[in-house]
Amino acid sequence: MLSHLFSPIRIGNLTVKNRLMMSAMSINFGVDDNCHVTDQLMAYFVERARGGAGMMLVGGGSVHPGGQELPDLPQMYEDGCIPALKRMVDQVRPFGTRFGVQLMHGGRQSYLPEKVAPSPIPAPAVVKGEVRALTVAEIRHLVACFGDAARRCRDAGFDFVEIHGAHGYLINQFMSPNANIRTDEYGGSFENRTRFLFEILADIRARAGEDFPVGIRINGNDYMENGWELTDALTLAPLLEAAGVAYVHVSAGVYGSTELTIPSMYTPQGCFVHLAEAVKQVVGIPVITVGRIKDPVHAEQIIARGQADMVALGRSFLADPHYPEKARTGRIQEIRPCVGCCLGCIHAVLAKEPGGCVVNPDVGREYLMASGETAGESAGSIDKPRVRILVAGAGPAGLAAARECALAGHDVVICEQGEGPGGLLGLAARAPGRGELKDILQFFDRELARLDIPVRYQTPLTQDLLMEISPDHVVLATGSMPQMPVIKGLFTTSMHLVTGVDVMAGTETAGEKVMVLGGGMAGLIVADFLADQGKTVAVLNRKKSFAEEMSSNDRYYLRERLKKGGVTLYKQVSIQGFTPDGVIFSSKGEKQTLSGFDTVVISEKFEAVRAARSFEKTSAARFHVIGDAKSPRHLMYCIAEARELAATF
């Protein structure tokens, strides 16, 4: 079925077993104080090699200490890094995955107090701070740093390297007119702006050898005013081929671009494929595409249509390290899907914390587990008695807990007072652009069937049910509900008073002019949901910032939708009182009055639902509380807590 995706391909002098590349990701863990790789990063890559990746890249391989993108990324700038890298390569090699390193210098996008770039122009977003322009002598030194880094990679046994010339990092800064205003041989004309890149290529070939494959990641478009554009990429690609590059990996975006490098669920899948397809028309070497390609059938179609020669996946390899092998063996339905939330993989990393994954809490913990996904997920069954577990609640926390407990060999039953699975996550998936949240719920639903876990819907937890099931453990995953605030006039206003949950569930209908109380993720999502129906919406946020619990990448697209939907946002709101058809308040110290409204939607704070814990007093079972029932938070904690709890049984 996926014959194109799982056919071999030649990359330089290498034969790659399939067309799936795990793209480089700055995961920000797995290095020691010298930024040498540790067992943590080794096990992370071994698990993905075991899962069947054709090619795989170490991300953030810094060629110079002054260009380290993030503090906990592997360095390639001194020979002391080689022994640990070699141990990692040796552990990956038995699985037949071609293993490489992406070499980079962050330039003005480095998280360092002193930043350098082609010109003294600060990064347009994310990374703050002044920037110093490189001297010609420093540029030539950095050229040699790339060459030496590639030589170290070859000495460590890697199969290839990829030069990072995209995403607004140093090489891309040289190539983009808006970042390079130099007047010497490294600025001005297209030839001058690309000179740094071609000198790097020549130096790598001189130091690492003519036969060592070198790929390059370039932007097909910066999506910035006066930035690098597709026409530039089409001019550059044939020159790269002539210079001996083994492949061209086409991506897009920089910090602050209108289309984000790592887009969230709001962006169409395959969002950058058209850029790779255009580049493929002008070169004969393999072209790799990337950009929210999560469905193996979609990846197969891209290859079959000739839009690209390989497909690079990043977040999908975080969500399920065994994505390739499951796809190859026809088990597509068993692939744990990325939902495009950008929380664990991007939000955490940009906060200089270890990267992770909302749907896969084992990211970064592979070295603590046994070998393989199955062994890791069922490790709780080793030398432990089989127990009977009743899970109350079929939201994401409950579903994840039931799956993990069943994988560990226990007997599991789920009860859910609603008519179906999903909880608040299922409601959030009804909002415009957030339908992919259903993907993880559907995955869990399929897993329940595969593992033969019974689910009793329209069945709340009761004393009779406890007596019938007689569980050893009860997992309360009963979720949360909106908290009703006490504000002057709220309960005497003539406006219709409803909760965001009621509106999203369809049990209540909002009028045509609606104010939403709450500027967190839930409030903005319901505001978008209403604006999409053509309603006039104002959001009253009593906090300083909007939707802080969302990743910046996800929040960016939602905020753009709210702008287009005409939603009015107020923050730092202090409410004086509600009137019959509006509200009197101050926003950032300025007095405001809204009138002519017909509905107030409460979507501010949530409170845990765990009344069923009272049954613990009369039950022999041991009770455990996870997810929103423990404390209302986002999805990442729900699934992680389920994983951790299952390991204790």
Residue 280 forms part of a structural domain: yes
Specify if 4 maps to a domain: no
pLDDT tens by residue, 63-83: 999 999 999 999 999 999 999
HSE-CB of 45 using CA atoms within 13 angstroms: 34
Secondary structure element (H or E) that encloses residue 190, with its range? helix 190-193
Cα gap 356→551, rounded to integer Å: 13
Q: Pick from 337, 368, 399: which residue ends a domain?
A: 368
Average pLDDT estimate for 293-312: 98
Q: What are the tens digits of pLDDT across the range 239-281?
A: 999 999 999 999 999 999 999 999 999 999 999 999 999 999 9
Same domain, 296 and 274: yes
Lowest mean pLDDT among 86-90, 344-348, 372-376, 602-606: 372-376
Whether residues 529 and 618 share a domain: the answer is: no
* Mean pLDDT, range 94-100, rounded to an integer: 98
| pLDDT for residue 377 | 47
| Structure token digits, residue 150 | 């590639």
**552 and 450, same structural domain?**
no
pLDDT at 373: 43
One DSSP character per residue, 103-162 reads: EE--GGGSSSSSEEESSS---SSSS-S-EEEPPHHHHHHHHHHHHHHHHHHHHHT-SEEE
State the helix-helix crossing angle for 396-407 and 635-646, rounded to 10 degrees. Answer: 30
Q: Where residue 370 falls among pLDDT bands split at 50, 70, 90?
A: low
311: left (phi over 0), alpha (psi -120 to 50) or beta: beta
Residue type, 361: P
**Average confidence (pLDDT) over 317-346:** 97
CATH number at residue 557: 3.50.50.60
Tell me the C-alpha distance between 646 and 649, whole Å: 6
Q: Output DSSP code: residue 346.
A: I
Share of the chain above pLDDT 90, in %: 95
C-beta separation of 261 from 253 below 8 A: yes
Are 348 and 414 contained in the same domain? no
In CATH, what number is assigned to the domain containing residue 234? 3.20.20.70
Paired residues of 411 in beta bridges? 388
Q: Are 99 and 158 in contact (CB under 8 A)?
A: yes
Does 234 share its domain with 324?
yes
pLDDT range class, residue 383, cuts 50, 70, 90 = low
In a domain, 7, yes or no: no
Q: What is the pLDDT of residue 556?
A: 96
User: What total number of domains does the chain contain?
Assistant: 3
Same domain? 432 vs 289: no
Average pLDDT, the chain: 95
- CATH number assigned to the domain comprising residue 442: 3.40.50.720
569 with 626, same domain: the answer is no
Side chain identity, residue 264: S
> Do residue 627 and residue 581 come from a single domain?
no
pLDDT (mean) for 498-510: 96
Is 373 inside a domain boundary? no
Three-state DSSP state, 574: strand
In sequence order, which residues have a C-beta less than 8 Å from that of residue 590 and are 6 or more positions away? none
Exposure pattern of 428-457 as b/e (b: 16+ CB <10 Å)?
bbbbebbebbbbbbebbbebbeeeebebee
Query: Is 5 inside a domain boundary?
Result: no
- For the residues 564-591, what does the mean pLDDT come to? 96
Residue appearing with tokens 């590059």: 245
Taking only the tens place, the pLDDT of each residue in 163-220 is: 999 999 999 999 999 999 999 999 999 999 999 999 999 999 999 999 999 999 999 9
The reply to whether 14 falls in a domain is no
Give 636's pLDDT tier (boundaries 50, 70, 90): confident
**Which is more confidently placed, 384 or 393?**
393
* CA proximity to 109, closest of 184, 26, 232, 191: 26
Q: Which of 368, 390, 407 is the last residue of a domain?
A: 368
Q: Are residues 32 and 169 in the same domain?
A: yes
169, 186, 247, 556: which one is catalytic?
A: 169
Predicted confidence at residue 375, as pLDDT, reads: 36
- Tell whether 126 and 195 lie within a shared domain: yes
- Of 115, 127, 155, residue with least CA distance to 26: 127
Average pLDDT over residues 432-438: 96
**Would you call 186 a catalytic residue per the annotation?**
no
> Strand, coil or helix: what is 319?
helix
Does residue 301 sit in the same domain as residue 178?
Answer: yes
Between CA 648 and CA 399 the distance in angstroms is 17
Domain that holds residue 118: 19-368
pLDDT at 634: 84
pLDDT, tens digit (0-9, with 9 covering 90-100), for 33-62: 999 999 999 999 999 999 999 999 999 999
pLDDT digits (tens, 9 = 90+) for 123-168: 999 998 999 999 999 999 999 999 999 999 999 999 999 999 999 9
Q: Is the pLDDT of residue 622 over 70?
A: yes
Nearest Cα to 603, choosing from 515, 534, 544? 515
119 and 182 assigned to the same domain: yes
User: Does the residue 174 lie in any domain?
Assistant: yes
